[in-house]
A and B are shown apart, each in its own frame.
Chain A
Amino acid sequence: MYKIIQKVALNPTVTKMVIEAPLIAKKAQPGQFIIVRPFEDSERIPLTVAGYDRAAGTVDIIFQIVGGTTMELNSLNEGDCVHDFVGPLGRATETEGLKKVCVVGGGVGCAIALPVARKLHEQGCVVHSVVGFRSKDLLILEDEFRACSDELRVMTDDGSYGTKGVVTAALEELINAGNQYDLVITIGPLIMMKFVVKTCQKYGLKSIVSMNPIMIDGTGMCGGCRLTVGGQTKFACVDGPDFDGDLVDFDEAMARGTMYRPFEAHAREAACNLLKMEVK
């Protein structure tokens, strides 16, 4: 059992939790993930390490409430425990030798992008960040990004905050302003990452994407998270989750991501009803 030390609502649908897990806190690196089961009968879901405090022995997770399991997780409060918390899993983001990088985050993906941006900044790398949200009320981590970015662009789809538009528009503007990036690191919805990679290709820039397929064990024993990368089958949980953006088959990944959609809709409804009953 792993105690929830702190719980903060970052916006109406995104929650941050600080979890007591000293062994994981000691080893975690930006880009790695953990597997969580809120309760004894819950599904196993992957969540990326959003931060860690090695001295305090805690690991941060930030999650969007999108379905049954994230609703279960969000029903827990400070002082409660999550039943299982496994990690750190996957490979860390490779940051060595980078001099100037653009980090592009979308929605809750910004929570994953933040520790990478922070690590690059601490290494003395010049960090430009582009973060995108649907609207102002979904904005998260702006101050945190500002603290570790040499330049920050905030985009909203509806223009309710920052600049109206998508993240690729801001990225193109930065490139056109003469910024030469060693690498573009992008984390967010698959469709966003696909278009960030396309934009990078247009300018001959290298890109790294953090993939988010369906996972069960997260240790390489089932292949549920497999992706086609450069024509080869890779397991995102052990070979990734970071991959070379130019090599990933995004269309296949997007198709695989929808496999359990009807089941998930049902689970979400069931969890909703259950939580409503508890409120009464």
Chain B
Amino acid sequence: MAFNMDPKKCPMPTQDPNVRNKNFEEVALGYTAEMAINEAKRCIHCKNKPCQSGCPVGIDIPGFIEKVAEGDFEAAYQVIHKDSSLPAICGRVCPQESQCEGKCTRGIKNEPVGIGRLERFVADWHRENVHTPPVVPASNGHKVAVIGAGPAGLTAAGDLAKMGYKVTVYEALHVAGGVLMYGIPEFRLPKAIVQQEIDGLKKMGVDFECNMVIGKVLTIDELMGEYGYEAVFVGSGAGLPRFMNIPGESLKGVYSANEFLTRSNLMKAYLPTSKTPIHVGKAVAVVGGGNVAMDAARSALRLGAEKVYIVYRRSMNELPARKEEVEHAEEEGIIFKTLCNPVEILPDDNGFVRAITCIEMELGEPDASGRRRPIEKPGSEFTMEVDTVIMSLGTSPNPLIRSTTPGLETNKHGCIVTASDAGDTSREGVYAGGDAVTGAATVIKAMGAGKAAAKAIDEYIKAKA
């Protein structure tokens, strides 16, 4: 088979920036079959598979790409499915540049192979063309409970179900999916796709119990006692938003990014028919520089704001958001106000936000995280006229699980302490992974943790039996 030695990735068709910044439809449109086959031929099938070692769930990347190059898309799907239950999601939201594609040999001299785009193509092709129900694995007679239906919990549930466990996922909100449903907007990750991936797990025999706040309605001790679960996986995430504690933060028109995105995504406030209100002014300041900040800013623009600013205390080089998201945001017209930090939010006569006062920053020596520390420039305060402020400063784990589970060790940040990457906690039979352990991180790291914990739970239950 001939390789495609094009130095660049086959480009992904996208909606025009000036059209898409007014709608909530998906920005990236995906490869056609021809594009996918052509891109797959750029893979040179290295023996040591560095890409696979860069994937947190260890997908056999050259294996599936070979099948794509042959035009056997269902075979490619089956290769991916062995290691990932949620490829349509990962192909869209993984930061491939720092994972699989970051290790691709083709990427040393040219652009790496578009692994994420190919994964997405394969998953979408399977969803649209293959309608045979998945094989329900034979039961092994053991029960496991999963707390939280986000990426970590869904992955753990999928893997355990494949091994024959009877899995029940307990979710606090009224729908499963966690951040995939309430956090990441429709234009990056269509909710119908998340729902279909979840339905796939249901067909494999996974039960979902929504509206169940573990720690309140049931405790982990009850799940492992009267409910008879032999192990519990805690994938409850890090949903507690941080605020800056600056004057004016309680004014009307100041949101946490979690609240703004939950209203827009989960409660569908972006639809005119939604019964849940959302307040979007003419000018919006989003404070922070991560993926969540980009999602909030791009959502605000689509909800009708005329000007949307990203206010970030470091420079463009330190933005923690994915490069592709920053580029998309810039194309859509988001204004980046870097090297400045809010010090006060000012009210109008009705108690709504009128403006935000920021101070300019400069970068000093690198701090513990390796990023250069921002330092305030005295006397450089300036005021921006905005009527909505969205705080996107990161999140911490919710205290509900730790405060109701005796003997479950947590650190000073409220994260659950695990003894190893397998997610074993200070309580026997209780495993944890994802943001509940690491604090806010990425979707795929949570999936990797869910996968590792599923393997460890399997070993633990088999050793006990």
User: Within the complex, which residue of B249, B267, B279 is in contact with A260, where a contact is CB–CB below 8 Å?
Assistant: B279
Residue of A nearest to B183 (CB): A221
A93 CA / B441 CA spacing, docked (Å): 36
Q: Which residues of A contact B217 (CB under 8 A)?
A: 23-24, 27, 87-88
CB–CB A264/B250 < 8 A: no
CB–CB B252/A256 < 8 A: yes
Determine chain A's interface SS by DSSP, over half rule.
mixed
Residue A86 at the B interface, CB < 8 A?
yes
CB–CB B275/A216 < 8 A: no
CB–CB B398/A222 < 8 A: no
User: Within the complex, which residue of B173, B243, B256, B275 is in contact with A42, where a contact is CB–CB below 8 Å?
Assistant: B275
Determine chain B's interface SS by DSSP, over half rule.
loop
**A263 CB to nearest chain B CB (Å):** 4
CB–CB A43/B400 < 8 A: no
Question: Which A196-221 residues have a C-beta within 8 angstroms of B?
Answer: 216-217, 219-221
CB–CB B216/A87 < 8 A: yes
CB–CB B256/A219 < 8 A: no
With A44-B267, A84-B174 already in contact, the answer to whether A219 and B275 are too (CB < 8 A) is: no
CB–CB A86/B174 < 8 A: yes
Residue of B nearest to A26 (CB): B217
Interface string of B248-263 (1 = CB under 8 A from A): 0111110110110011
CB–CB A221/B262 < 8 A: yes
A24 CA / B253 CA spacing, docked (Å): 34
A227 CA / B250 CA spacing, docked (Å): 8
**A41 CB to nearest chain B CB (Å):** 6
A203 CA / B419 CA spacing, docked (Å): 55
Residue B218 at the A interface, CB < 8 A?
yes
Residue of A nearest to B241 (CB): A223
User: Within the complex, which residue of B211, B259, B263 is in contact with A86, where a contact is CB–CB below 8 Å?
Assistant: B211
Chain A interface extent, by class: 35 or more
**A23 CB to nearest chain B CB (Å):** 5
With A216-B263, A264-B277 already in contact, the answer to whether A222 and B213 are too (CB < 8 A) is: no
Q: Which residues of B contact A252 (CB under 8 A)?
A: 250
A3 CA / B239 CA spacing, docked (Å): 30
With A222-B262, A263-B277 already in contact, the answer to whether A84 and B256 are too (CB < 8 A) is: no
Q: Which residues of B contact A256 (CB under 8 A)?
A: 250, 252, 351
CB–CB B243/A255 < 8 A: no
CB–CB B213/A87 < 8 A: yes
Q: Which residues of A contact B383 (CB under 8 A)?
A: none
A263 CA / B218 CA spacing, docked (Å): 36
User: Within the complex, which residue of B213, B252, B256 is in contact with A89, where a contact is CB–CB below 8 Å?
Assistant: B213
Question: Which A247-278 residues have a C-beta within 8 angstroms of B?
Answer: 249, 252, 255-256, 258-260, 263-264, 267
Q: Which residues of A contact B279 (CB under 8 A)?
A: 259-260
Residue of A nearest to B253 (CB): A259
Chain B interface extent, by class: 35 or more
Interface centre among B217, B240, B267 (most CB of A within 10 A): B217
**A30 CB to nearest chain B CB (Å):** 15
Residue of B nearest to A262 (CB): B277
Residue A68 at the B interface, CB < 8 A?
yes
CB–CB A223/B252 < 8 A: no
With A43-B276, A256-B252, A259-B252 already in contact, the answer to whether A222 and B259 are too (CB < 8 A) is: yes
A255 CA / B347 CA spacing, docked (Å): 12
Interface string of B282-305 (1 = CB under 8 A from A): 000000000000000000000000
**A151 CB to nearest chain B CB (Å):** 35
CB–CB B259/A216 < 8 A: yes
**B388 CB to nearest chain A CB (Å):** 11
CB–CB B262/A219 < 8 A: no
A260 CA / B279 CA spacing, docked (Å): 8
**A219 CB to nearest chain B CB (Å):** 5
Q: Which residues of B contact A267 (CB under 8 A)?
A: 275, 277
User: Within the complex, which residue of B174, B263, B399 is in contact with A37, where a contact is CB–CB below 8 Å?
Assistant: B174
With A44-B267, A216-B263 already in contact, the answer to whether A238 and B213 are too (CB < 8 A) is: no
**B275 CB to nearest chain A CB (Å):** 5
Residue of B nearest to A23 (CB): B217
Q: Which residues of A contact B140 (CB under 8 A)?
A: none
With A24-B217, A43-B275, A255-B351 already in contact, the answer to whether A219 and B250 are too (CB < 8 A) is: no
CB–CB A221/B245 < 8 A: no
Residue B408 at the A interface, CB < 8 A?
no
CB–CB A226/B250 < 8 A: yes
Q: Which residues of B contact A23 (CB under 8 A)?
A: 212, 217-218
Residue A85 at the B interface, CB < 8 A?
yes
Residue B44 at the A interface, CB < 8 A?
no
Interface string of A15-40 (1 = CB under 8 A from B): 00000000110010000000001000
Q: Which residues of B contact A258 (CB under 8 A)?
A: 252, 351
Q: Which residues of B contact A222 (CB under 8 A)?
A: 241, 256, 258-259, 262
**A117 CB to nearest chain B CB (Å):** 23
Residue A224 at the B interface, CB < 8 A?
yes
Q: Which residues of B contact A37 (CB under 8 A)?
A: 174
Residue B172 at the A interface, CB < 8 A?
yes
Q: Which residues of B contact A42 (CB under 8 A)?
A: 275
With A86-B211, A252-B250, A255-B252 already in contact, the answer to whether A220 and B239 are too (CB < 8 A) is: yes
Q: Which residues of A contact B398 (CB under 8 A)?
A: 219-221, 238
Question: Which A48-96 residues have a C-beta within 8 angstroms of B?
Answer: 68-69, 83-89
With A43-B267, A216-B267, A260-B279 already in contact, the answer to whether A224 and B259 are too (CB < 8 A) is: yes
Residue A11 at the B interface, CB < 8 A?
no
Residue A180 at the B interface, CB < 8 A?
no
A191 CA / B152 CA spacing, docked (Å): 45
Q: Which residues of B contact A83 (CB under 8 A)?
A: 174
With A219-B172, A219-B398, A222-B258 already in contact, the answer to whether A41 and B277 are too (CB < 8 A) is: no
With A42-B275, A85-B211, A238-B399 already in contact, the answer to whether A223 and B258 are too (CB < 8 A) is: yes
Interface string of B213-245 (1 = CB under 8 A from A): 100111000000000000000000001110101
Q: Which 3 pairs across A and B sit closest by C-beta, in order of nearness?
A: A221-B239, A222-B259, A263-B277
A-B contact pairs, 10 of them (CB 8 A): A27-B216, A43-B275, A219-B400, A233-B243, A233-B245, A233-B249, A238-B399, A252-B250, A260-B279, A263-B277
